């Protein structure tokens, strides 16, 4: 699978539940977090500064899912990426 143009294919990173005062926050309670993390599987040929294998932070409402070889990946536009680790 190879992304083209300004698209990036990522695999979401499931983050551990956060603790506040010894209590675990569920995903629903943690909905105020604006950005999620993912590992880049494929970056399109026009994307600059992001390469395969990078960990990126992106807007939680960006992109859409795509099924490939029995696994769910997410397709984002380069403009939805805010941080590259």
What is the Cα–Cα distance from 8 to 81, expressed in whole angstroms?
A: 9
What is the spatial distance between Cα 17 and Cα 63, in angstroms, rounded to a whole number?
Answer: 23
In angstroms, the CA 59 to CA 6 distance is 16
1: domain CATH number is: 2.30.33.40
6-35: per-residue pLDDT in tens? Answer: 999 999 998 766 666 777 666 554 556 788
Q: Residues near 29 by Cβ (< 8 Å), separated by ≥ 6?
A: none
Whether 49 contacts 2, CB under 8 Å: no
Main-chain dihedrals φ then ψ at residue 80, nearest 5 degrees: -85, -10
- Provide the domain limits for residue 79: 1-13+35-85
- pLDDT per residue as tens digits for the range 24-68: 666 554 556 788 999 999 999 999 999 999 999 999 889 999 999
Residue 29 lies in a domain: no
């Amino acid at each position: 699978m190879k992304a083209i143009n300004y698209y990036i294919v990522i695999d979401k990173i499931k983050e551990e539940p956060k603790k506040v005062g010894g209590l675990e926050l569920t995903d629903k309670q943690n909905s105020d977090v604006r950005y999620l993390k993912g590992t880049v599987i494929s970056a399109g040929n026009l994307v600059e500064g992001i390469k395969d294998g990078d960990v990126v932070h992106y807007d939680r409402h960006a992109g859409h899912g795509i099924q490939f070889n029995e696994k769910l990946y997410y397709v984002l536009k380069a403009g939805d990426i805010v941080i590259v680790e």
